[in-house]
Amino acid sequence: MAGKRNVAVLTGAGISAESGLGTFRGKEGIWNKMRPEELASMEGFMANPELVWEWYNYRRSVLAEAKPNPAHHALAKWESACPKFTLITQNVDGLHQMAGSKSVLELHGSIKINRCLSCAQESSDEPVRYEGKIPCCSCGGRLRPGVVWFGEMLPEAVLSQAFRASTECDLFLAVGTSAAVYPAASLPEIAFESGALTIEINLEHTPFTESAHFHLAAQAGLAVPALYHAWSHCNMTASNNT
Ligand code: OAD
């Protein structure tokens, strides 16, 4: 990793698994027990908003107890130490920001905000919660959780910054993502094809594993801090010598 000073990282649910949050796929995955079309789509919300709100309330209550783990903390330190560092996440949990990451490209939005279906206004401090009644905006429109659901477009500006960072970086890490959901899943491939050194950290193999230069079959909470230490050792030493 010596000399790699433009770093991009894509994280997925696996990075938050050691913080006690469930992942989506695999045997214990959320989508193995629940139906994404009911809980994470506009059609599902229109058909049964109470159910969708109850589920997001539940997730918010689990999240209220969750803390960032050593992988989140290592990425926050990496951002401060690296000349160019882009953190891209598919997670909506806000744990990167809680760990101290200042700039986070949230591809799938944030569970901590609500958005109005009528006026599109977003509210981020203390989002209104579902208490037996669908929450409403001051304009009278219904509120929905501020996450990206299946079939919806990703925030355009965020996505284009993520594409640019993946194209321009010289080191790309894919951490705890099944690389199954597009367009996020195309980012590691773009980085690989653009000539970056690509490292995947995942307990399992994914569709990206074949084209990653290295696959580290380890828990993110161990592997990410170890990689950060290795990176800072060779790059801080190199910059001290020049
Ligand atoms: P997934 O649940 O699809 O994948 C999580 C990955 O993390 C799996 O490949 C696991 O092997 C790996 N993993 C689990 N624990 C780990 C650990 N401690 N260390 C390292 N790896 C670990 O989650 P995502 O790839 O994030 O979208 O899923 C992508 C999107 O699908 C989510 O953002 C969500 C979901 O539907 C929306 O809700 C729109």
Contacts of residue 172, Cβ cutoff 8 Å, sequence gap at least 6: 7, 8, 9, 10, 166, 187, 188, 191, 192, 196, 197, 198, 199
Distance CA 73, CA 219 (A): 14
Q: Which residue has the tokens 């770093």?
A: 7
pLDDT value, residue 127: 63
Helix or strand run (H / E) with residue 106: strand 104-106
pLDDT(237) > 80 = no
Q: What does the longest C-alpha to C-alpha distance in the chain come to? A: 63
Distance CA 222, CA 37 (A): 34
pLDDT(102) > 80 = yes
Residue 22 Cβ inside 6 Å of ligand 1? The answer reads no
Q: What is the pTM of this model?
A: 0.95
190 phi, psi to nearest 5 deg: -60, -45
Whole-number percent of the chain with pLDDT over 90: 83
pLDDT(238) > 80 = no
Q: Are 94 and 110 in contact (CB under 8 A)?
A: yes
Q: Which residue has the tokens 């321009």?
A: 168
Going by pLDDT thresholds of 50, 70 and 90, the confidence category of residue 242 is very low
Nearest alpha carbon to residue 7 among 240, 224, 241: 224
pLDDT(203) > 50 = yes
Give 177 Cα–ligand 1 centroid separation in angstroms: 4
pLDDT value, residue 24: 93
Q: Counting beta carbons within 10 angstroms of the beta carbon of residue 134, is it exposed (0 to 12), middle (13 to 18) or buried (19 or more)?
A: middle
> What average pLDDT does this structure show over 159-171?
98
Residue 176 Cβ inside 6 Å of ligand 1? The answer reads yes
213 phi, psi to nearest 5 deg: -65, -40
Residue 89 Cβ inside 6 Å of ligand 1? The answer reads no
Residue 188 Cβ inside 6 Å of ligand 1? The answer reads no
pLDDT value, residue 72: 98
Residues labelled catalytic:
108
Distance CA 176, CA 29 (A): 13
Distance CA 19, CA 146 (A): 22
Contacts of residue 22, Cβ cutoff 8 Å, sequence gap at least 6: 13, 28, 29, 30
Residue of the CA atom closest to atom 26 of ligand 1: 12
pLDDT tens digit string along 39-54?
999 999 999 999 999 9
Give 116 Cα–ligand 1 centroid separation in angstroms: 28
